[in-house]
Amino acid sequence: MKASNQETLELPNRLVHEPARLAILTVLSSCESADFVFLRRVAGLTKGNLSVQLVNLEQAGLIVITKEIVERKMRTTVKLSKRGAAEIEEYWQTMDAIRSRMVRRKDRRSARYPLPATARFGFSG
């Protein structure tokens, strides 16, 4: 894409930054593995929604899903793959870069166009 000015930034991975998937990956990056019940509870998703998100992440190779039968019940355990761990790490680095770039831009703008005294002291009208 042609830049309007000289500043360019890397965009975060859209697959990762969707909130439901980001929540799942954040949880999995804080532990070795987690089961379906915990992921549903911590992410606040419905069974259907979580299942869809897990399938998407598995197809993208970001997580590994293991199913086993324990005490006559199916237990689904989810683990972050090596690629998933790298992706979530890269995602946070990208977001940090965007945030710091935005802060710098804001600082430059406020230095160039300082607010009038009335605005700085919170006067209105």
Partner 1 sequence: MASIASIHSLVCGINQSMESEVYKTDNSPVDHQRLKFGTENLAALQGLDIVALGAMLFFLELTDVVKDSWWLYLLNLAAAVVIVRQMPSKYYERHFGRVEPKSKRPTSRREAVGGLVGILLVIVVLIWGRRIEVWADAVLMGDLSGQIRWVASLAWSARLLRNTQRDSAADPRGPLFYVVGLATSTAICLCPKWYPEVMQSLVWKTLNAGSLGLSLTAWGLRDHLLLVHLLPKNGSDDEGQ
Q: Which stretch binds partner 1 (CB under 8 A): 58-66, 70-78, 112-120?
A: 70-78
- CB nearer to partner 1: pick between 111 and 117: 111
Residue 118 carries which side chain, given as an amino acid letter? T
Q: Please, which of residues 31-50 interact with partner 1 by CB under 8 A?
A: 31-47, 49
Distance CA 68, CA 71 (A): 10
Specify burial of residue 53 (Cβ count, 10 A radius: 0-12, 13-18, 19+): buried
- Rounded to 5 degrees, φ, ψ at 85 are -65, -40
111 binds partner 1 (CB under 8 A): no
Does position 117 interact with partner 1 (CB under 8 A)? The reply is: no
What's the distance, CA 15 to chain centroid?
9
Question: Can you give the binding site for partner 1, defined by CB under 8 A?
Answer: 1-5, 7-12, 17-20, 22-23, 26-27, 30-47, 49, 73-77, 98, 101-102, 105
